[in-house]
Structure 1
């Protein structure tokens, strides 16, 4: 095993190898702990060697996003537009679930790389190939927003748990007291909170099934897009 690691470290360094190692390291230690120095240690090189392939930390992060985008399945060319879009979005979601840090990095990018532009290009292309007008497709992309990448900002989002931070243990007695307080002071919220009992590890909200809620909203959007398309809707009325 040691010989395999050493053999890998002796492999010539290139941009792809740097980016793949950075993704693997972020998966292992979290994006907050990723640094050029630590990545260099992982690759068995001096930090300056990395700068021949990525100019700085921001370029490294851009490249890591490109690597994640490369994991997303290409559009299914022989499928109905609605199924093609659905499959692409869910493939993007699976890529982000494999790399929990990726969402935060995507949200902070200030530049658009060719790989990201190509992803968006083919995404728009699925609607145009389905007969959507340019006008409707423009508004569809706004409506999808970050859902195109497989995530969305949820009303009950728990960012701390989503980012993998440790959470204080809540006793059963404390949960009962919290539920009682919620029922008395926020009865409407309490009703919908008690209506679902799926995944305790949900990042959407305690008691909610992330995947179900994501697909539920996605299908609502796709159904709405389909109705507008059939009506030959335009933004000019």
Structure 2
């Protein structure tokens, strides 16, 4: 309940506006009592990150690893679009903690994807490379998509709606000229295009190791 309430505050406002006092007010509890569950705000943010990533599903038993990675990517985007204020937290907050000291829930997607890929006969190091390539792409894509913010939706042209008219035309002619394309950005379509390129590249550069031969006893 506490983490769900903290996530609601972040969704409505921002990570910066989350505090023990606001959380206590929302829950109808003394903020001091919340410190029994989280030592400080950093620990609370760890919990929120774990709570969100706990909703990311990975079927390690899927025999088609490419299909499963695509499902994971779509699921991650769904979570990112449902909680756009949490995206920077998902990307940057874990970096402040050594891998082995992070909340277990934030590492389970990694463990499950490694399980998926090693079942597909990738070596451990190649499975890790695939994970890093996938989530490097997903983090960048999610950050790009949540930053596609309209400045003034009531304006008549895409240049004005996106606030690109603030940019000097002499310095940013190409960016200003792409106003219509920027306004027409479709995150779902761009995700699929990026996954097509990423998975094709992984197929071309990484191959599963040969399964071990089974000899009769």
Give the distance between the partners of 1:68 and 1:174, measured in 2 at CA: 34
Q: Structure 2 vs 1, CA of residues 40 and 190 (structure 1 numbering), >3 Å: closer, same or farther?
A: closer
- Given that 1:96 and 1:103 are in contact with CA atoms closer than 8 Å, whether structure 2 keeps it comes out as yes
- Given that 2:57 and 2:75 are in contact with CA atoms closer than 8 Å, whether structure 1 keeps it comes out as yes
Give the distance between the partners of 2:31 and 2:8, measured in 1 at CA: 17
The answer to whether residue 198 in structure 2 is matched with residue 225 in structure 1 is no
Q: How does 1:143-222 map to 2 (within 5 A)?
A: 143-147=133-137, 150-152=138-140, 159=147, 161=149, 167-168=151-152, 171-172=155-156, 175=159, 186=173, 193=178, 197=181, 205-222=182-199
Give the distance between the partners of 1:55 and 1:160, measured in 2 at CA: 35
| Aligned counterpart, 2:107 | 117
Residue among 81, 84, 97 paired with 2:81? 97
| Aligned counterpart, 1:6 | none
Shift of 1:102: 1.4
Residue among 3, 6, 19 paired with 1:35? 19
Give the distance between the partners of 1:103 and 1:46, measured in 2 at CA: 29
The answer to whether residue 117 in structure 2 is matched with residue 127 in structure 1 is yes
Q: Secondary structure at the match of 1:151?
A: helix
| Aligned counterpart, 1:3 | none
CA displacement, residues 16-75 of structure 1 (integer Å, 9 cap, x when unaligned): x21111112222233232111000000111110100001000000010011101111232
- Given that 1:136 and 1:229 are in contact with CA atoms closer than 8 Å, whether structure 2 keeps it comes out as yes
| Aligned counterpart, 2:35 | 51
TM-score by length of 1: 0.70
Give the distance between the partners of 1:184 and 1:55, measured in 2 at CA: 48
Q: Structure 2 vs 1, CA of residues 160 and 95 (structure 1 numbering), >3 Å: closer, same or farther?
A: closer
Q: Secondary structure at the match of 1:152?
A: helix
- Given that 1:183 and 1:190 are in contact with CA atoms closer than 8 Å, whether structure 2 keeps it comes out as no
Give the distance between the partners of 1:154 and 1:71, measured in 2 at CA: 16
CA displacement, residues 74-124 of structure 1 (integer Å, 9 cap, x when unaligned): 325234010011111211111121111111112331122211122211122
Unaligned runs of 5+ in 1: 1-16, 198-204, 233-237
Unaligned runs of 5+ in 2: 210-217
| Aligned counterpart, 1:5 | none
| Aligned counterpart, 1:9 | none
User: How many residue pairs were aligned?
Assistant: 198
